Structure 1
Amino acid sequence: MELVKVNGAVNVKKLMVSVLVPVVGGSIIGAIANQRTREEYRELKKPSFSPPGWVFPIVWTGLYKAMGIAEYRASAKAKNQEEKKKALIPYEIQLGLNFLWSFLFFKWGLRGTAFIEMAVMFGIITWTTYEFYQIDPLAGHLMVPYIMWVTFALGLNYSIWKWNDD
């Protein structure tokens, strides 16, 4: 409970919106972008460090929850609208890029483009993390697992792209 308390209180409505936007948005986008792609993904050549498919929705749900809590904390702790906007602009951009990636990689099979897009997304996630940390160190720390996962996913995306570039 302490994780979601800001200045000793919890704004339940704001917290719910902050968490549900990435969790529900990611679930809907994933369902749409991954329609009829499971078999194709199974057929791709993948590196030995590629986790089984069932790992991805579990990891992403946790990451989306953490980033939603981070957004909630940074928004609530921002001193003014300008500081809040400075943090939320990169957050919203990275979230949009996150949702776009599934279409690039799975739906449209543009794995090289997806890799480049993810590299840009990585930079914007790092920027978001920095901005959140300036407002609330805990919010910044909540973004670190996301950075780590996207670093891993960059290597996985690159490998799949190069091993299946035909």
Structure 2
Amino acid sequence: AGAGGGDSAADAGKAAAEAVESAIGVEKVDAPAPSATYRDVEELDLAYCGKYAAATAFQVGALCLALGAIDAVTPALASATPLGGALPKGMLWVFLAFISVKSRVFSPLDARRTRRTFDTVKRPSWAPPGIAFPIIWSTIALLRATSGTMVWEALGRTALAAPLVAFVVHLAIGDLWNAMFTTERRLGAGVVGVLMVWLSVMTVGSIYYGVAPAAAYVFAPSMAWISVATCLVTNIWYINGKEPLYPMKRVDIDTAEAGVKA
């Protein structure tokens, strides 16, 4: 009975973890990892860099357009409903919460959140357990939405302004990192990418502090978690072969083998 109870608790815990992961958009991917179909060549892939830089710029532009649209409808919403200013505030909070979890819908990159890379590499002994990631990210999403709304109010209810633009740039860089590290298993480029994510989140915190210090304190857990994640990703890179810290060219294994046989 004890063993059965333990199994039931484990199953319940796994189900809860999967539910949280599903809520924040962590997807199960059954396709083989890129390393199973491609061979990396130690040569900088300039075309890849250009493509991903352009995709990130496109995503930032799309998110900024969304912020501008919120500014455009805010006065009408505030004056046309009995709720007054509460409706625009709620709309902004929901939008910020959504993009904190699903910003990748604005990106042309394959920036799905999956566990494929983390489940197929060596990880340091201090790495947080799998259940911790969805719980932490869902909590951070709520705090990001709240802090961003506080900044919006401090700016006179203006969304398309430097603080929130810096925030969406941070999200776009995070999606760039997701595409490189999580989806494509580029461990070396992922280190540079996560350092960019860390720099951008620290920049956001600093800008928030200059506008509304309380908002920066609410945003602080995001800064702390990204710092931990940066150490984790760097450690994973180190103990898994220390591949070059740039996007390498990838050659299709079947094509390469066919060329050798010919």
Question: Higher helix proportion, which one?
Answer: 1
Q: Does 1:50 align with 2:127?
A: yes
2:169 alignment partner, one of 82, 85, 93: 93
Query: Is structure 2 residue 140 aligned with structure 1 residue 60?
Result: no
Q: Which residue of 2 aligns with 1:22?
A: 100
Task: Give 1:121-160 correspondences, 5 Å limit.
Answer: 121-160=197-236
Structure 2 residue identity aligned to 1:12:
G
User: Is the 1:23–1:65 Cα contact (8 Å) retained in structure 2?
Assistant: no
Task: Tell me how far apart the structure 2 counterparts of residues 128 and 118 of structure 1 sit (CA, whole Å).
Answer: 15
Partner residue of 1:110? 186
Q: Classify the secondary structure of the residue corresponding to 2:123.
A: coil
Q: CA deviation at 1:28?
A: 10
SS at 1:143 equivalent: helix
Structure 1 stretch displaced more, 12-21 or 120-129: 12-21
Partner of 2:51: none
Quote the RMSD (CA, aligned, Å).
Answer: 2.7
TM-score (norm 2): 0.52
Q: What amino acid is the match of 1:103?
A: A
| Pairwise CA distance, 1:96 | 0.7
Q: Which amino acid aligns with 1:32?
A: R
The one-letter code of the counterpart of 2:222 is Y
Corresponding letter in the other structure for 1:15: W
- CA displacement, residues 31-85 of structure 1 (integer Å, 9 cap, x when unaligned): 8342xx53x532321111111222111111111211121111111211485x961
Alpha-carbon distance, 1:14 to partner: 1.9
Unaligned runs of 5+ in 1: 1-8
Which 4+ stretches in 1 moved above 6 angstroms?
A: 26-31
Is the CA contact (8 Å cut-off) linking 2:112 and 2:178 kept in structure 1? Answer: no
Structure whose alpha-carbon radius of gyration is higher: 2
What count of residue pairs does the alignment treat as equivalent? Answer: 154
Give, in angstroms, the shift of residue 157 of structure 1.
Answer: 0.3
Q: Percent identity?
A: 19
The answer to whether 1:163 aligns with 2:243 is no
The residue number in structure 2 matching 1:5 is: none
Change (3 A) 1:127 1:159: same
Give the equivalent residue in structure 2 for 1:77: 154
Instruction: Assess, with a 3 A threshold, how the Cα gap between structure 1 residues 28 and 44 changes in structure 2: closer, same or farther.
Output: farther
Q: Is residue 78–residue 84 contact of structure 1 (8 Å, CA) maintained in 2?
A: no
What is the distance in 1 between the residues matched to 2:178 and 2:140? 15
Residues 96 and 138 of structure 1: CA distance in aligned 2, closer, same or farther (over 3 Å): same
Q: What amino acid sits opposite 1:114 in the alignment? A: G
In structure 2, stretches of 5+ residues that fail to align are 1-84, 244-262
**Residues 138 and 26 (structure 1), Cα distance of their counterparts in 2 relative to 1, 3 Å cut:** farther
Relative distance call for 1:80 and 1:19 in structure 2 (3 A) is closer
Change (3 A) 1:136 1:69: same
